[in-house]
Amino acid sequence: MPKALLSVYDKTGLIDLARGLTDLGWELLASGGTAKLIQQNGLKVTEVADYTGSPEILGGRVKTLHPAIHGGLLARNTPEDQAQLQSLGWEFIDLVAVNLYPFEATVAKEGVTLAEAIEQIDIGGVALIRAAAKNHDRVTLLCDPADYASVLLGLQNKTLDLDARRALALKGFRLTSHYDRAISRYLDGGEGETLELYPVQPLRYGENPHQSAVLLGFKPGETPLGGKVLQGKELSYNNLLDLDAAWRAVVSYKKTSIVIVKHLTPCGVASNDDQAEAYKAAYQCDTVSAYGGIIAANRPITAATAEAIKDLFVECIIAPGYEPEALEIFAKKKNARLVEMPDLEVEPKVEYRSVVRGLLRQQVDMGDPDQNGWKVVTVKQPTAEEMTAMKFAWIACQYVKSNSIVFAKGETTVGIGGGQPNRVDCVRIAAGHAGEKAKGAVMASDAFFPYPDSVEEAAKAGITAIVQPGGSIRDQESIDLCNKLGLSMVVTGYRHFRH
């Protein structure tokens, strides 16, 4: 009669598993609370302590750490191993269902003490997983309740083969590896750095056809950006980069907003209570660059917005949802990828970039830590309308490649310049895109002005107010020029480079 050992902290699906094994003629062993729950449901089970002849000790710290258990798991299917087990009065254990104390969930709680955390370090469970996984040639490991039903079906149909057991063993080794890293991170105060990455999907190629590429996620079973692809061709490497840039930008706004991105930088941003109007305004910022771009919305896409977009060639659209009528409209754009996001979060709160022989890690730039630190430094005070436009432009400029310059009127960008080594060139680019719309607009700069020439170019274009971080040794020269030309200037105290 085959024998199964059940020892689980998470009791999800336990009784269905126990009943299914019993119906197939298996004998059940179980520890402590697991055995008690099985008995309460009218199923026959032998407690581990009765099987081994050794009681649980140290308040439950030692339950399954016994040669009768680990010998039964690690014994190979050979006459020699079987004879040795029989001489000791023990038997093969053919299946183990085990999961671990919730260490990560415990330490994530506020105010958890070191002693409380240590009590959630599982010893016996990890040992069972490793023993069963090591001997997967004979033993089936279940460390995830999601696998119970398929394994029962495989046992019933006699289709649970070595490949299936090897896949379950791999899941076990991944679990214990993750568990140990979580413990080490906690004990070293979070100073240690470990990255666990899992393949999400292979990509046709990278930035260019001769470069191979794959999308990786931070957890098994992840989807692209954590979202759901509703239609369109497979997402490419470049699509994913642009989708990420557009999503980060659009969720930075509280009002209904649209961001259009091309080549990792916004080419149009607008906020408006009417989403379709927000799209039209963002599109008008740079109609040339919007062609073949990425559109992001921080509200579900309405039918009216879809109608406004339908004639523009776009690579991808990303939003937290779509009205049914919008999906019908987009269905005619078969190549356009639609991505639906589950929420408005940007996760994780850190970001990585590879460099030669290493990685850079930094916290995600979530905007100014002090939202009330703005200071008017010119004689002329900005109007209420200019302040509204500057607050809008200030967020937009955080997502444009440095040196970032954004011209805005109201809550709409009218000109964007960035990605040049010279800031004054970016002002000229923004002015060129804005044209006559620059007159009466405001300007945001992601970093300070090393010279007043950017202020001079902005004034020539028709800018009336400027927001910038300040901090240059030549700040006063820029302030003096604003005073001379009749512009207002606000400094924020925070820089927002995006290299």
Specify the range with the lowest mean pLDDT, choosing from 37-46, 276-285, 392-401.
37-46
Rounded Cα distance, 33 and 98, in Å: 13
Q: Which residue has the tokens 């992840």?
A: 222
CA distances from 380 to 394, 473, 479 (A): 19, 22, 11
Mean pLDDT across 29-56: 84
Residue 75 has pLDDT above 90, yes or no: no
pLDDT range class, residue 145, cuts 50, 70, 90? very high
In 335-410, alpha helices (H): 384-397
In this structure, the number of other CB atoms found within 10 A of the CB of residue 110 comes to 4
Q: What is the pLDDT of residues 240-265, one digit of tens each?
A: 999 999 999 999 999 999 999 999 99
Contacts of 86 (CB under 8 A, 6+ apart): none
Query: What is the dihedral sign for C-alpha 105, 109, 113, 116?
Result: negative
Return d(Cα 231, Cα 238) in angstroms, integer.
Answer: 17
The answer to whether 470 touches 450, Cβ cutoff 8 Å, is: no
Given a cut of 80, whether residue 65 has pLDDT beyond it is no
Would strands 95-98 and 442-445 be described as parallel, antiparallel, or unpaired?
Answer: unpaired
Q: For residues 54 and 48, give the distance between their C-alpha atoms in angstroms, rounded to a whole number.
A: 8
Please answer whether residues 196 and 178 qualify as being in contact, where contact means their C-beta atoms are separated by less than 8 angstroms: yes
Asked whether the beta carbons of 431 and 438 are under 8 A apart, the reply is yes
Instruction: Identify which of 122-126, 167-171, 275-279 has the greatest average pLDDT.
Output: 275-279
Question: What one-letter code names the amino acid at 473?
Answer: I
> Residue 108 is encoded by which pair of tokens?
């994530």
DSSP state of 60: G
Fill in the DSSP letter of residue 211.
Answer: S
pLDDT at 274 over 90: yes
Give the least confident one: 46-55, 188-197, 347-356. Answer: 188-197
pLDDT digits (tens, 9 = 90+) for 356-384: 999 898 999 999 998 788 999 999 999 99
CA 233 from centroid of its chain's CA atoms: 22
Return the amino acid letter for 42.
Answer: G
- Asked whether the bond before 403 is cis by omega within 30 degrees of 0, the reply is yes
DSSP state of 301: B
The residues annotated with a catalytic role in the active site are: 134, 263
Has residue 192 got a pLDDT over 70? Answer: no
- Say which residue the tokens 């009681």 belong to: 55
Residue 459 — very low, low, confident or very high, per pLDDT cuts 50/70/90? very high
d(CA 264, CA 270): 17
- pLDDT at position 372 is 81
| Strand pairing category for 314-319 and 337-340 | parallel
What does the buried/exposed string (b/e) look like for 462-491 if buried means 16 or more CB atoms within 10 Å of the residue's CB?
Answer: bbbbbbbbbebeebebbbebbeebebbbbb
- Tell me, what's the pLDDT at 193? 66
pLDDT > 80? residue 189: no
The whole-angstrom separation of Cα 412 and Cα 138 is: 65
pLDDT at 116: 82
Give the chain's end-to-end CA distance (angstroms, integer): 65
pLDDT, average across residues 322-344 = 95
User: CA 289, CA 283: separation in Å to the nearest integer?
Assistant: 9
288 vs 51, residue with greater confidence: 288
Q: What is the mean pLDDT of residues 164-180?
A: 89
Q: Distance (Å, rounded) from C-alpha 419 to C-alpha 264?
A: 10
How many whole angstroms separate alpha carbon 94 and alpha carbon 86?
A: 15
User: Can you give the pLDDT at residue 256?
Assistant: 98
Angle between helices 475-485 and 453-461 (to 10 degrees): 30
Residue 193 in tokens = 């750095």
List, for residues 419-447, the tens digit of each pLDDT value.
999 999 999 999 999 999 999 999 999 99
For β-strands 412-417 and 375-376, DSSP reports them as unpaired
Q: What number of other Cβ atoms are within 10 A of residue 306's Cβ?
A: 22
- Closest to 398 (Cα-Cα) out of 275, 245, 292: 245
Q: State the residue for tokens 């269902």.
A: 97
Q: Which residues of 201-233 are buried (b: 16+ CB within 10 A; e: fewer)?
A: eebeeeeeeeeeeebebeeeebebbbbebebbe
Residue 348 has pLDDT above 80, yes or no: yes
Q: What is residue 95's DSSP assignment?
A: E
Please report the pLDDT score of residue 464 as a whole number.
Answer: 98
Instruction: Give the residue from 379, 375, 421 showing the smallest Cα distance to 402.
Output: 421
Distance separating alpha carbons of residues 58 and 153, to the nearest angstrom: 38
pLDDT in tens, 90-139: 888 899 999 888 887 887 788 888 888 887 787 888 889 999 999 998 99
Judge whether residue 59 has pLDDT over 70.
no
pLDDT for 221: 86
- Percent of the chain at pLDDT exceeding 90: 64
pLDDT of residue 401: 94
What is residue 119's predicted lDDT score, i.e. its pLDDT? 78
Model confidence at 454: pLDDT above 70: yes
Closest of 119, 121, 120, 126 to residue 96, by C-alpha: 126
User: Which domains occur in the chain, in start order?
Assistant: 3-187 (3.40.50.1380), 228-364 (3.40.140.20), 375-491 (3.40.140.20)
Specify the residue for token string 């730039």.
Answer: 365
Task: Report the distance separating Cα 397 and Cα 391, nearest Å.
Answer: 10
**pLDDT, average across residues 227-251:** 96
Which DSSP symbol is given to 229? E
